[in-house]
């Protein structure tokens, strides 16, 4: 045999190398391909054409970019174009206002997310608080069921606003609430909030108000921009965004912190420090939405006339805006002595630790006036979300101790909610109810969650929750698909549940993207649902 092959090769027709050599060569090529072959994550990252992760060298700009992306992620999801095939239970009477879906084809699966950052037709939301004397005198013509300033709203939105999605909301009629000083240092605890306590400062509306100390990354900006916003300008294609991009005015005043070297960095505001070190495996969104950057401000004429506020000043908060300094973090359970939160906070420099609950308290308190006074849902609703998380965690902890103690004593008595948490909860409920009445999908969705789980003193009403999710879904809020699917799955209707999950996946929603493969494909435990 070997002689035959040798003879064949010697005769010349097929120039095959000897068998040994050939085998070795194939082995080498296999090894080469193994070494050169990218790993699975790299492979599908490379395959996807929408993967446009920007690796930036400049850390300052990276910080700004990630901050911008993080803030943009909380934007109002644009209404999508599908029509829900689920039978509508019944339509809500005029409290829910659905945005008319824009004309045109629905974008494909991943492009639908690529327009995520761009705000849709900006809806105008009037400011909290909905107290009657203020709003009635200011806007006598408003309807009774929407007395809290629906007159600012424009329904249906004019076509010019639809065509220019970056057009900011006009806030000419909005009173400028006194800006509140951001807490510079977590050591000064509890933070002092003067803005809420002083009634004269609310009545005066000193214009321009005293310049609040801006965080370090922002350039100071005159407060006159509260009255009118500049017209949209085409964004210049410059790389140095820190010079071009104006500091966003309506953003919440985050606590300025040295980014990574302390416990208690704001998790929503924190730049993701992992991207450069990880190479291709980005921990952020592998398909990041394009950054939508507000247009640079142009010089606008500002009227020098003082703003007149019609109506009575806002009633003051009846709840304590911060916990007294000597009070314990939570009322002590009956049987056991109080447990303060564990380790001392500022020892060493631990990397990237989430804030302890005390730090959350400071942060939430410092943003409280800003969130309750604004008409911008992008400020108020993330704050409300954080408050919901904070209050439910701390109340759960509180009642857990109480229940254990009561079980020992043989009863079921519970102390009343601590006043600080009650005040935060009421503020949160007011914000969410207000925006839900004006039809903001995220607020409707949050209300639905409270109905579903009976949180925040809401009745445990799954029908109402279903209705709320459908209403949010009507405006294209993708997370509601996950909740609806979960409701169907809990009832036992797996097919409809999967149908909703599928639609959530096709809109790129995180919860649906998790639940579908984790529960149905990879058979991961359902413990974390």
Residue with smaller CB distance to another protein, 314 or 371:
371
Q: Is 99 exposed, middle or buried (0-12, 13-18, 19+ CB in 10 A)?
A: buried
Contacts of 41 (CB under 8 A, 6+ apart): 280, 281
Residue with smaller CB distance to another protein, 286 or 297:
286
Dmax over CA atoms of the chain, in Å, equals 109
Give residue 492's region: left, alpha or beta (phi > 0; psi -120 to 50): left
CB half-sphere exposure, 340, CA atoms < 13 A: 7
Residue with smaller CB distance to another protein, 21 or 267:
267
Closest distance between another protein and the C-beta of residue 115, in Å? 15
CA 269/CA 67 separation, integer angstroms: 6
Closest distance between another protein and the C-beta of residue 34, in Å? 10
Residue with smaller CB distance to another protein, 121 or 516:
516
Q: Are 460 and 491 in contact (CB under 8 A)?
A: no
How is residue 117 written in tokens? 């950052």
- Tell me 518's DSSP state: I
Choose among 110, 106, 285, 248: nearest CA to 168.
248
Closest distance between another protein and the C-beta of residue 296, in Å? 29
| Cβ atoms within 10 Å of 105's Cβ, excluding its own | 6
Residue with smaller CB distance to another protein, 147 or 268:
268
Residue with smaller CB distance to another protein, 311 or 517:
517
Closest distance between another protein and the C-beta of residue 327, in Å? 18
Name the H helices within 220-287. Answer: 241-244, 275-278
| Cβ atoms within 10 Å of 475's Cβ, excluding its own | 25
Residue with smaller CB distance to another protein, 2 or 521:
521
Closest distance between another protein and the C-beta of residue 445, in Å? 9
Closest distance between another protein and the C-beta of residue 62, in Å? 16
Closest distance between another protein and the C-beta of residue 481, in Å? 12
Residue with smaller CB distance to another protein, 269 or 369:
269
Choose among 500, 429, 443: nearest CA to 472.
443
Residue with smaller CB distance to another protein, 127 or 380:
380
Choose among 56, 45, 32, 85: nearest CA to 473.
85
Angle at 59 between CA 55 and CA 62, to 5 degrees: 55
Closest distance between another protein and the C-beta of residue 191, in Å? 21
Quick check: helix, strand or coil at residue 354? coil
Closest distance between another protein and the C-beta of residue 343, in Å? 4
Residue with smaller CB distance to another protein, 205 or 458:
458
**3-class DSSP string for 35-47:** HHCCCHHHHHHHH
Sign of CA dihedral 291, 502, 388, 333: negative
Sign of CA dihedral 298, 300, 306, 311: negative
Using the structure block, give the residue that is written with the tokens 């300008």: 233
Closest distance between another protein and the C-beta of residue 118, in Å? 17
């Amino acid at each position: 045999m070997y002689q035959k092959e040798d003879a064949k090769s010697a005769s010349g027709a097929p120039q095959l190398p000897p068998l040994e050599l050939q085998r070795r060569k194939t082995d080498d090529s296999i090894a080469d391909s193994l070494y050169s072959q990218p790993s699975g994550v790299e492979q599908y990252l490379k395959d996807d054409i929408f993967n446009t992760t920007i690796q930036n060298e400049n850390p300052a700009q990276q910080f700004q970019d990630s901050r911008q992306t993080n803030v943009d992620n909380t934007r109002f999801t644009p209404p999508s174009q599908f029509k829900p095939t689920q039978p509508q239970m019944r339509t809500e009477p005029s409290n829910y206002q659905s945005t008319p879906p824009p004309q045109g084809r629905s974008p494909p699966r991943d492009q639908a997310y690529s327009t995520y950052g761009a705000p849709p037709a900006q809806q105008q939301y009037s400011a909290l608080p909905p107290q009657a004397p203020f709003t009635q005198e200011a806007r006598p013509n408003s309807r009774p069921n929407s007395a809290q300033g629906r007159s600012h709203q424009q329904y249906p939105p004019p076509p010019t606003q639809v065509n220019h999605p970056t057009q900011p909301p006009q806030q000419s009629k909005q009173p400028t609430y006194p800006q509140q000083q951001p807490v510079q240092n977590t050591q000064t605890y509890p933070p002092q909030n003067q803005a809420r306590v002083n009634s004269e400062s609310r009545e005066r509306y000193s214009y321009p108000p005293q310049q609040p100390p801006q965080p370090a990354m922002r350039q100071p900006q005159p407060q006159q921009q509260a009255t009118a916003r500049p017209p949209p300008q085409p964004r210049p294609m410059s790389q140095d965004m820190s010079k071009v991009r104006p500091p966003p005015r309506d953003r919440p005043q985050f606590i300025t912190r040295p980014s990574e070297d302390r416990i208690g960095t704001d998790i929503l505001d924190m730049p993701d420090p992992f991207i450069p070190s990880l190479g291709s495996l980005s921990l952020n969104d592998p398909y990041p939405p394009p950054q939508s950057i507000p247009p640079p401000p142009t010089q606008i004429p500002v009227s020098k006339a003082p703003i007149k506020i019609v109506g009575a000043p806002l009633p003051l908060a009846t709840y304590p805006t911060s916990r007294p300094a000597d009070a314990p973090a939570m009322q002590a359970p009956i049987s056991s002595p109080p447990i303060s939160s564990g380790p001392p906070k500022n020892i060493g420099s631990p990397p990237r630790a989430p804030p302890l609950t005390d730090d959350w308290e400071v942060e939430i308190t410092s943003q409280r006036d800003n969130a309750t006074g604004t008409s911008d849902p992008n400020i108020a609703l993330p704050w409300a979300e954080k408050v919901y998380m904070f209050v439910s965690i701390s109340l759960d902890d509180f009642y857990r101790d109480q229940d254990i103690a009561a079980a020992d004593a043989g009863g079921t008595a519970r102390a009343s909610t601590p006043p600080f948490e009650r005040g935060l909860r009421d503020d949160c409920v007011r914000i969410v109810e207000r925006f839900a009445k004006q039809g903001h999908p995220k607020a409707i969705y949050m209300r639905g969650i409270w109905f579903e789980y009976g949180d925040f003193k809401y009745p445990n009403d799954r029908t109402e929750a279903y209705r709320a999710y459908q209403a949010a879904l009507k405006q294209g809020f993708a997370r509601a698909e996950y909740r609806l699917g979960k409701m169907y799955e809990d009832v036992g209707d797996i097919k409809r549940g999967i149908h909703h999950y599928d639609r959530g996946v096709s809109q790129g929603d995180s919860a649906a993207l998790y639940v579908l493969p984790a529960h149905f494909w990879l058979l991961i435990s359902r413990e974390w649902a």
